[in-house]
């Protein structure tokens, strides 16, 4: 089973969780570090024996390419690895992984964001992938009608973790970084998971629209029944939908 792992140093819970998961994965696979190193060649991403052995010590967070190679060599779940790695990296002092292309693809990692710190890491990586634009440049990109919808003072506070990120600021930020409409929705969904916000209003029944349609049908019926002025219009003359909206059932 290879050499014994060194004792875990006192450090962040998420880093230790990732290390334990990696070690358990290797133990279940029955592979030695040497065998794993040979298997990584098959993934066109060879990783040395020494690097693999350090990856599960729990002293530091391994880079994403190393973590992915480790998991694939052992036949583990890359999705689970992405989630654990993202959480561990979010709490790592200095965040060594903050370089373009070092982590899971943004559109895939976003699905695992559930905490504010994880969202901040994702936002910082997005900015790096966009070419590290300055706050002033991002502010300028969000100008519409001679007014910027992304004040750099506000964005500075958000990226520094000093203030909460609102949905409006997030949308303007990702747009300024070149994110398209499809991925934009994933960013908003990630933000809502961190705040526990309810589903967007668009997912709720459009009661106003339904009532407007019902009133239009009522007016149409009244015009249709205009030739019967002496006859009183009863509930049975109205569409069933209006009764359902009013909370009544029609026999």
Q: What is the pLDDT of residues 133-170, one digit of tens each?
A: 889 999 999 998 888 899 999 999 998 888 999 999 99
Confidence category of residue 10, pLDDT binned at 50, 70, 90: very low
Same domain for 55 and 78: yes
Nearest to 183 by CA among 195, 193, 170: 170
Same domain for 146 and 70: no
State the CATH number of the domain containing residue 32: 1.10.260
Cα gap 207→201, rounded to integer Å: 11
236 found inside a domain: yes
Same domain for 181 and 117: yes
% of the chain residues with pLDDT over 70: 69
Distance (Å) of CA 229 to CA 163, 170, 226, 239 = 65, 59, 6, 20
Which pLDDT value is given to residue 120? 86
Confidence category of residue 199, pLDDT binned at 50, 70, 90: very low
Distance (Å) of CA 181 to CA 186, 187, 226 = 9, 10, 50
Q: Can you give the residue range of the structural domain that contains 33?
A: 13-94
Cα gap 184→158, rounded to integer Å: 18
Cα gap 42→79, rounded to integer Å: 20
Helix, strand or coil, per DSSP, at residue 108 = helix
- Mean pLDDT confidence for 192-207: 63
Which pLDDT value is given to residue 109? 65
CB 89 within 8 A of CB 120: no
1 found inside a domain: no
Q: What is the pLDDT of residues 42-86, one digit of tens each?
A: 765 688 999 999 999 988 888 888 888 899 899 998 878 888 887
């Amino acid at each position: 089973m290879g050499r014994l792992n060194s004792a875990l140093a006192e450090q962040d819970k998420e880093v230790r969780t990732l290390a334990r998961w990696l070690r358990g994965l290797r133990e279940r696979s029955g592979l030695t570090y040497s065998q794993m190193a040979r298997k990584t060649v098959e993934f066109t991403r060879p990783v040395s024996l020494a690097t693999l052995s350090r990856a599960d010590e729990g002293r530091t967070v391994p880079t994403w390419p190393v973590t992915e190679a480790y998991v694939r060599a052992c036949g583990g779940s890359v999705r689970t690895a992405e989630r654990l790695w993202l959480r561990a990296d979010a709490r790592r002092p200095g965040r060594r992984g903050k370089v373009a292309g070092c982590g899971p693809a943004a559109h895939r990692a976003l699905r695992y964001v559930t905490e504010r710190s994880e969202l901040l890491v994702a936002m910082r990586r997005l900015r790096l992938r966009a070419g590290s634009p300055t706050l002033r440049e991002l502010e300028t990109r969000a100008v519409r009608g001679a007014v910027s919808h992304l004040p750099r003072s506000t964005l500075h506070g958000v990226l520094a973790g000093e203030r909460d990120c609102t949905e409006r600021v997030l949308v303007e930020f990702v747009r300024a970084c070149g994110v398209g409409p499809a991925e934009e929705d994933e960013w908003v969904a990630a933000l809502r998971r961190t705040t526990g916000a309810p589903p967007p209003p668009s997912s709720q029944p459009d009661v106003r629209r339904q009532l407007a349609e019902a009133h239009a049908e009522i007016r149409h019926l009244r015009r249709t029944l205009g030739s019967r002025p002496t006859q009183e219009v009863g509930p049975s003359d109205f569409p069933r939908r209006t009764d359902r909206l009013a909370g009544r059932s029609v026999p």
